Structures are given as C-alpha cells and as structure tokens.
Amino acid sequence: MSTTDRTVAFLDLTRFTTLTDVHGDQKAAEVIDQFLNAVTAEIGGRGRVVKTLGDGVLLELVNPGASIGIADRISHRLHERSGLPELTGGICTGPVVDRGDDILGSTVNLAARLAELAPAGELRVTEPPARAAADAGWSVEPLGPIEIRGFQDPVDLYSVLLCHPSDCVTDPVCGMRLTAGDDTPTVQYDGEMSWFCSASCRDRFNATPARYDTTAP
C-alpha cells in the first residue's frame, strides 16, 4: 500500500430513495443505468471509477480541474433527458491510501461527507478544486469553516453551482428534473412555486409541504 495526494470526488443523485419509493424499483434501476453511463462516458483518461455505491460513485481524478469538468459534463448529460434527478457531490484533494482497486483515508471520508452536505445541483469542495473551478470561470462561493461530522477541526468549504436555478425546474419530492409545460402539476406554497413530475408527487407535497425544501434548484 502507498499513500499519495489525489483528488477524490463522491458524486450522488439527489432524493434517490424518495424517487424509488414514488416511481418504483424498475424506474430507479433505469435512472442508475443512465447515471453510470454518463459517468463512464465522461471520465475518459482523466481518472477512474473506484467503486459504485448505490446511487453514488467514488472517483479518483488526475487533478482538481478534471474533477470539476467531469462533474459538469455528467450534470449536462443528465439534463439532456427529462425525468432524471439532479447531481450533487463532494470533491477534495489530499492524501489517500492506494490499495490497488480501492482507496481509503480521511480524504475519501471527507468527500463522502461533503456530498451529504451539498444541495441539489451543487458541489461542496475544498480549496484546490475551488481554485480550479474559479480559474475555469465558475462562480465559487466561500462558505467559511464548517463543522464536519467525524472530523475534529472545521473545514474551509466552497460551493460550486452545477446548474443555475433559473435553468432548472426540479420536483422537490422525488428530485426529478422537469421540462415544465402547461400541464405540469404545480403548487404555490409560502410564496414559492413548485413543479411536480406527477399528481402523486404533488399530493405528497400538499400533505406535508414543510417537509420539502422548495428553495432547492
């Protein structure tokens, strides 16, 4: 085993558990297949898929810039088809233990924790990928030191937006991205308009609207 610095990305699909509950196992499997196809198509020679974990993937990239570019392209591929969830993820650069087919260490654990913190359509990243994103012209928002579960010291984090809210219409219940039309179910709640993929998701929202974050893209 050897230890070396790597850029690690954990990319995930938002609200996948709810999507499975609402739309069924077959639809969930189809969504996973399309997600993994997008990952495979975009990673090319810029890194490798270390492993898949349900609706998420752990990637090892050649540099921080590659990680941002790959996340962007995967997000675009998902956006090319209506009815797919938004991408989210965590990216950081640091030492990992290389075990051949796997990697481990605090950098890997941090990437997974950052993915848990990131809202739909956003990345949570540490400084090296944040600098790479800024150099490539992305809008990067410093979030300051953030307490991360399992880590003793706060971590300086940054937000990178994959999809601008004005370009994204997302079902707040199941996370599907929609092309809204005249027949798309909608609900206005607390001054915010929400769109839904189906009457079923609309009815779930109406039953407990405070459960769902309508400010997420």
DSSP 74-90: HHHHHHTSTT-BPEEEE
pLDDT at 138: 79
Q: Which two tokens stand for residue 91?
A: 């990216």
- What average pLDDT does the segment 63-84 reach? 84
> What end-to-end distance do the CA atoms of the chain give, in Å?
42
- The answer, as to whether pTM is greater than 0.85, is no
Within a domain: residue 191?
A: no
Distant-in-sequence, close-in-space partners of 6: CB < 8 Å, separation ≥ 6: 60, 61, 93, 94, 95, 96, 98, 103, 107
Within a domain: residue 12?
A: yes
Spatial separation of the C-alpha atoms in residues 124 and 53, rounded to whole Å: 19
pLDDT at 73: 87
Query: CB burial class (10 A; 0-12, 13-18, 19+) of residue 33?
Result: exposed
Q: What is the largest CA-CA distance in the chain?
A: 58
In degrees, rounded to 5, the angle at the alpha carbon of residue 9 between the alpha carbons of residues 6 and 14 is 170
Domain range holding 132?
2-165
Spatial separation of the C-alpha atoms in residues 15 and 196, rounded to whole Å: 14
Q: What is the pLDDT of residues 119-162, one digit of tens each?
A: 888 899 999 999 998 888 777 889 999 999 999 999 999 988 87
Within a domain: residue 171?
A: no
Q: Which two tokens stand for residue 158?
A: 């940054």
Within a domain: residue 22?
A: yes
* CATH code for position 127: 3.30.70.1230
Q: How many domains are there within the chain?
A: 1
- Check pLDDT > 80 for residue 183: no
